[in-house]
Amino acid sequence: MRTTHTIFRRPEQALMAIAMTQMGKHYGLPVYVNVGLTDSKLPDGQAGMEAGMSLLCGALAGADIFGHLGICGADQGTSLVMLMLQHELIGYVERVLRGFTVDDETLGLDVIRAGGHDGSFLAEGHTVRHFKQELWFPQLLDRRFWADWLERGATDMYERCLAAKAQAARRAPAHAPGGRTGARAGSDRRGRPGAGVR
């Protein structure tokens, strides 16, 4: 209320997305909600928290379509780097939505009995058959030991998103909106004006 500026990612917006989804589902309608967005100006910790929490809320509520991905700063800008972060978040949310199966095969009680309470199950055939189905393997999140992370450049999430965007750009065909080519005026990696779009 201090500025009357639209706040995209306050908790109340996530609650509204849940309520709209419930109403739409009650009437048998497909539901489109704006979740996975951020008020942050760049893909940082705030962006990850806001986009992740709201995306998960919308998905768990059962919404069908999520819109406006790539937006930063409450509709004030777009970012392909932010889109890389949101792509990773979507993978995380999809894994949560898939859940897991509990049955005789997945429990593997015979393997547990054979291994005992102090056994290791890492080399068991049962583990090998199931772990790749059950675990989500992120493309950008860092899960290495501290020393390995330092040795490989100690990159943060922003830097990994930038690298993913560059890799995607190399794979994509050349595209110049409106017939223009080359870098356009924009902002640098930390949102400062004038250093070219990244």
Give residue 50's pLDDT band: very low, low, confident or very high (50, 70, 90): very high
Q: Among candidates 76, 51, 62, 58, which has minimal Cα distance to 25? A: 62
Residue, of 37 and 62, whose pLDDT is higher: 62
| Coil, helix or strand at residue 93 | helix
Which tens digit of pLDDT belongs to each residue from 129-148? 888 888 899 999 999 999 99
CB 198 within 8 A of CB 163: no
Confidence of residue 48 (pLDDT cuts 50, 70, 90): very high
Measured between its terminal Cα atoms, the distance across the chain in Å is 33
Sketch the domain layout of the chain as residue ranges.
Answer: 101-140
Examine the pLDDT at 37 and tell me if it is beyond 70.
yes
Report if pTM > 0.85.
Answer: no
| Residue type (1 letter), 112 | I
Q: Which residues of 108-120 are buried (b: 16+ CB within 10 A; e: fewer)?
A: beeeeeeeeeeee
Q: Cα–chain-centroid distance for residue 114?
A: 39
